[in-house]
Amino acid sequence: MRSGGPTFRGADEALDAVDAIVAGAAAEARRAEQYAAAVDGLRVHGRPSDGSDVTVTLDHAGGLVHLAVGERVAAQGGAAVARAVLAANATARRRLPAVLGGLAREAFGADSATTAHVVQHAERMFAARAGASDAAGERPAGVSVGAGVLR
């Protein structure tokens, strides 16, 4: 019964084919390790478009790893700080898909299925929704803020 797979003229040819498969898998594993290390060390910064002295730093998953609030913004009170922080966070999150996609292209190539998956996932996770805004006082459609919370 034939399996429909490749046929070899002998054991040496079959072993060479296996060696080539193993070498390809090892190279792919090295690229994946390099990508993982780059992603692990990734930091993306964002600032509000209004020029407020606030900087947000996010990791690869969009987690906040650093926040810097300048005295000028802090002196304006909690509501101003909250708006500036949210705007800076939105800016950084919008940058994540491009940065993650760039790392994937470097590691796996522009035409790789892995790169396509990374880009698609990052865009789904972090890209701005239609109608989203980082302008002070505006919220993306579908987002509600309860009384007394960052109003």
Amino acid at site 142: G
For position 142, what pLDDT does the model report?
33
17: which residues sit within 8 A by CB, 6+ positions away? Answer: 6, 8
- Mean of pLDDT values over 14-18: 91
Query: What ranges make up the beta strands (E) of the chain?
Result: 44-46, 54-58, 64-69
Cβ neighbours around 57 below 10 Å, total: 17
Structural domain boundaries, residue 92: 11-126
Residue 148 lies in a domain: no
Bigger pLDDT: 3 or 35? 35
Q: Which pLDDT score is estimated for 134?
A: 42
Residue 147 lies in a domain: no
How far apart, in whole angstroms, are the C-alpha atoms of residue 134 and residue 48? 7
| Confidence check: pLDDT of 133 > 60 | no
Is the residue at 142 inside a domain? no
Residue 32 lies in a domain: yes
**What pLDDT digit, counting tens, does each position of 84-131 carry?**
999 999 999 999 999 999 999 999 999 999 999 999 999 999 975 533
**Spatial separation of the C-alpha atoms in residues 132 and 21, rounded to whole Å:** 47
The domain total for the chain is 1
Task: Give the per-residue pLDDT at 149.
Answer: 36
With beta carbons less than 8 A apart as the criterion, state whether 65 and 59 touch. Answer: yes
pLDDT of residue 130: 36
Q: What is the mean pLDDT of residues 28-50?
A: 93
Band of the pLDDT at 48, cuts 50, 70, 90?
Answer: very high
CATH code of the domain containing 108: 3.30.1310.10
Q: For residue 2, what pLDDT is reported? A: 58
Predicted pLDDT of residue 6: 84
> End-to-end CA distance of the chain, in Å?
72
Q: Please report whether residue 73 resides in a domain.
A: yes
Q: How many CA atoms lie within 13 A of 44 on its CB side?
A: 25
